[in-house]
Amino acid sequence: MTKKTIEDDLIEIFEKLHKNPELSYKEYETSKTLKGILKEYGIEILNLNLDSGLVAVIRGEHPGPVIAIRSDIDALPIQENTGLPYQSLVSGIMHACGHDFHMTSVLGAARLLNERRNEIHGTIKIIFQPAEEAPGGAQLIIDTGVLEDVKVYFGIHATPSLPVGTVGIGEGAVMAAVDKFSITVKGRGSHAAHPNEGIDPIVVSSAIVMAVQSIVSRNMDPFSQGVVSITHLEAGNTWNVIPEQAYMEGTVRTMKPEDRVLFQNRLKALAINVAEAYGAEAEFNWHPGPPAVINDGELAELSKKVAEKNGYLIREAYRSLGGEDFSLYLQKEKGMFLRIGTGGGYPIHHPKFRVDRKAIMPTAKYLADLAIEYLQANIIA
């Protein structure tokens, strides 16, 4: 019998995690599994008293700064339809965003780093963060205080639009700020046959939906990236009554802090003034989410150098208007969010989403090399 390789082990772990997905803030068994594997590797787990999520630490044999590698661990409320032999065993829950791939690759990196402690000039904290999808999980880990000494963060995301062997490396804003808004339009109900006796909130809402389309085309700098989508619109409950009010909500995705302010102000002004023009009233609510993910330029250069050494093809300036609470770690310190090609043919959050398992071992090695090279380049004299 041939000896099992690290890659064989990791693929086994990946399949186990994939079969047993858990939703945000409920990653109890996942956390137990991760702890068990880390213990087997002989890696120290910090005592944080978290029900889900954990932070492990690898102390190098040489002094140096503290850096972190982060994986998210939660799954999504999606019924899997891949037909894979290791398909989710939990009805209605699926690792459809590749967080199982993140966990496995980061575990692999931790194992390799632990075996290479003699090359490490500093300390590496390994973050297994709950509830990236919820969101809020990053804040939960930050609030433990365990990251106070961390100077640099590395994070990854599975990327089905890139083939295995390709890594997307962008600098500057690579993922968007995620803000949410809602608008309540208050009109006056009436009989459908006598609209003149009421104020129709459905007509007012329609005007608002159309008006906000001009923010991207007429207000935003054409060199900026941003989008506003109204995704939920609700009013009335029958065919012959004009309702009293309407409700809508949606999201704004932007790359620059000033554009967040612009969208918030324009949405509010359009909602309130369009409603007023029709004799109705609008109430506008803005719910800010995580900011944009901003990749550090020097880290992008280092990431490209190490990627090349590892035989990766590099896709420059890879960016998306999706969101990631990885950005919360970067509020205080710099970091790098890498898009790892995982192929598979279906987008993330799709019931047929799948990760090509061949991407796991190279990602583990890449992350380990990246951490070691960063620390070697930043030796404190």
Q: Which is nearer to Ni ion, 114 or 129 (CB)?
A: 129
Residue 164 is a binding residue for Ni ion (CB under 5 A):
no
How many residues in the shown chain lie near Ni ion by CB under 5 A? Answer: 1
Query: Element (H or E) spanning 334, and its range?
Result: strand 334-341
CB of 100 to Ni ion, least distance (A): 11
CB of 98 to Ni ion, least distance (A): 6
Buried/exposed code over 58-85 (b: 16+ C-beta within 10 A; e: otherwise): bebeeebbbbbbbbbbbbbebebebeee
Q: Is the dihedral of CA 242, 245, 250, 256 positive or negative?
A: positive
Whose CB is nearest to Ni ion?
Answer: 97
Residues with Cβ within 8 Å of residue 379, at least 6 apart in sequence: 62, 64, 121
Residue 156 is a binding residue for Ni ion (CB under 5 A):
no
Footprint on residues 291-330 left by Ni ion (CB under 5 A): none
Least Cα distance to 13 among 71, 93, 55, 68 occurs for: 71
Near Ni ion by CB under 5 A, which window of 55-63, 97-105, 111-119, 315-323? 97-105
Near Ni ion by CB under 5 A, which window of 30-38, 95-103, 228-236, 292-300? 95-103
Residues with Cβ within 8 Å of residue 154, at least 6 apart in sequence: 67, 68, 69, 70, 299, 335, 336, 338, 367, 370, 371
Paired tokens of 359: 């991407």
Near Ni ion by CB under 5 A, which window of 26-34, 94-102, 118-126, 278-286? 94-102
CB of 345 to Ni ion, least distance (A): 18
CB of 368 to Ni ion, least distance (A): 22
Considering only 97, 107, 255, 275, the residue that binds Ni ion (CB under 5 A) is 97
Q: Which is nearer to Ni ion, 66 or 106 (CB)?
A: 106
Q: Which is nearer to Ni ion, 75 or 110 (CB)?
A: 75
Near Ni ion by CB under 5 A, which window of 24-32, 96-104, 224-232, 236-244? 96-104
Residue corresponding to tokens 């890449």: 366
In the shown chain, the binding pattern of residues 109 to 138 toward Ni ion, with x for contact by CB under 5 A and - for none, equals: ------------------------------
Is residue 327 within 8 Å of residue 292, measured between CB atoms?
yes
Largest CA distance in the chain: 84
Residues with Cβ within 8 Å of residue 131, at least 6 apart in sequence: 24, 25, 27, 52, 53, 72, 74, 137, 140
| Vertex 253 angle, CA 284 and 336, to 5° | 140
Q: Which is nearer to Ni ion, 97 or 138 (CB)?
A: 97
Q: Which is nearer to Ni ion, 75 or 372 (CB)?
A: 75
Residue 212 is a binding residue for Ni ion (CB under 5 A):
no
Judged by the rule CB under 5 A, the positions of this chain that interact with Ni ion are 97
